Structure 1
Amino acid sequence: MTLDTVVEDIREQARARAEEIREEAEAEADEIIDKAEADADEIRADILADAESQIEQEREQRMSSAKLEAKQSRLEARRDVLQSVRADVEEEIATLEDDKREELTQALLDAAAAEVDDGAAVDVYGTADDQDLLESLLEEYDGFEYAGEYDCLGGVVVESNESRVRVKNTFDSILEEVWENNLREISDTLFEQ
């Protein structure tokens, strides 16, 4: 074996070893690339899942907000309608015909008179528009006197200083009581589903 042959043999072994190292490096590089691609796919899938989850969450929040806003709008509309109905009722009461107004005022005055002691000095207040009516009705009551104006739709406020009794029998107070006691029924009638 000559030196050239030995050198050639070493070169051949070195080439073979270099080829083997290169193939191992390529295999390792392919393995690293495959792992990196798998990791990237997993990260991409996680990001997409998170994005879809966030989109769904935001959609649900917006739907919930829209439903709440619609419900509030419905409630406001109902409240507006109820206030309008109440205003219409108050207008009807304020403009009662004379005979009906006198009949109702008499009934409220009778009920208030039953609450005060007989013979007591009693001050009676009412709306300014009813002053003549009240003064006429009070002629039938001993010790009762029209004492002035009270801001109301009609009816009477009766005060007895001696017995410290104050009875508020106004159309307003009766309407308030009836309204509060029947609000659910009124609402159900107006807004039947």
Structure 2
Amino acid sequence: MSLDTVAEDIREKARARAEDIRSEAEAEAEEILAEAERDAEEIRSEREADVESTIEQEREQRLSSAKLEAKQARLEARRDVLGDVRETVEEEIAGIEGDDREDLTAALLEGTVAEFEDDATLEVQGRADDEELIESLLSEMDYDGEYAGEYDCLGGVVVTSEGSRVRVNNTFDAILEDVWEENLGEISDELFEQ
């Protein structure tokens, strides 16, 4: 065997070995690249899921917030309507005149006076516009009572006794308040039937 043949044989083995190493390196590189692509795809999928979850959470929060705002707006609108109705009722009550006002005031005064002892000296307050009416009603009663001045109300009377600490508020306002509170649910249902 000649030296050239041996050298050629060594070169051939070296080339084959180099080719094997290159093939192995390419296979390893492809495996590393494939694994990197799988990892990247997994990371991308996780990120997409996180983003979608975040978007869904924000959407739910905004939807919930919008529903709450709408509910608050409806409640406020209802309160406004109920306030308007209450104001209209108060105006109607304040506008009661003539025999109706006299009959109502007399009934309230009689009912209030009945709360006191027969010999009590009573001080009766009422709406400024009702002073003459109250004085007239007091003059017709068996009780010792006098008009004691104005009371800011829609009508009716507030009676106190000089000898006791009892004070009875039998005004249109007090009666309206009781009726309003007792019937607010029905009033609301009637106004806002759904």
Query: Same fold, TM exceeding 0.5?
Result: yes
Deviation (angstroms), 1:11? 1.0
Verify: 1:22 aligned to 2:19, yes or no: no
Give the stretch that moved more between structures: 25-34 or 59-68: 59-68
Match of 1:108 in 2: 108
Amino-acid identity (%): 70
Deviation (angstroms), 1:64? 1.0
RMSD: 0.9
CA contact (8 A) 1:116 1:163 kept: no
CA contact (8 A) 1:127 1:153 kept: yes
SS of residue paired to 1:167: strand
CA contact (8 A) 1:117 1:163 kept: no
SS of residue paired to 2:147: strand
Question: 1:99-138 counterparts in 2 under 5 A?
Answer: 99-138=99-138
Verify: 1:90 aligned to 2:62, yes or no: no
* Per-residue CA distance 1:133-191 (angstroms, 9 max, x = gap): 11111102331100111111110000002132111000000000000000001001111
Match of 1:64 in 2: 64
> Counterparts of 1:113 and 1:120 in 2: how far apart (Å)?
9
> Counterparts of 2:165 and 2:40 in 1: how far apart (Å)?
88
Q: What amino acid is the match of 1:157?
A: V
CA contact (8 A) 1:158 1:168 kept: yes
Q: What amino acid is the match of 1:145?
A: E
Gaps of at least 5 residues in structure 2 are none
Q: How many aligned positions are there?
A: 193
Deviation (angstroms), 1:3? 1.5
Deviation (angstroms), 1:56? 1.3
SS of residue paired to 1:147: strand
* Per-residue CA distance 1:27-56 (angstroms, 9 max, x = gap): 000000000011111111111111111111
> Counterparts of 1:120 and 1:20 in 2: how far apart (Å)?
125
Match of 2:78 in 1: 78
> Counterparts of 2:168 and 2:149 in 1: how far apart (Å)?
15
CA contact (8 A) 1:125 1:147 kept: yes
Q: What amino acid is the match of 1:53?
A: S
Q: What amino acid is the match of 2:28?
A: E
Deviation (angstroms), 1:103? 0.6
Q: What amino acid is the match of 2:170?
A: N
> Counterparts of 1:169 and 1:86 in 2: how far apart (Å)?
19
Q: What amino acid is the match of 2:183?
A: N
4+ runs deviating over 2 angstroms: none
> Counterparts of 1:163 and 1:49 in 2: how far apart (Å)?
78
TM value normalised by structure 1: 0.97
Give the stretch that moved more between structures: 177-186 or 137-146: 137-146
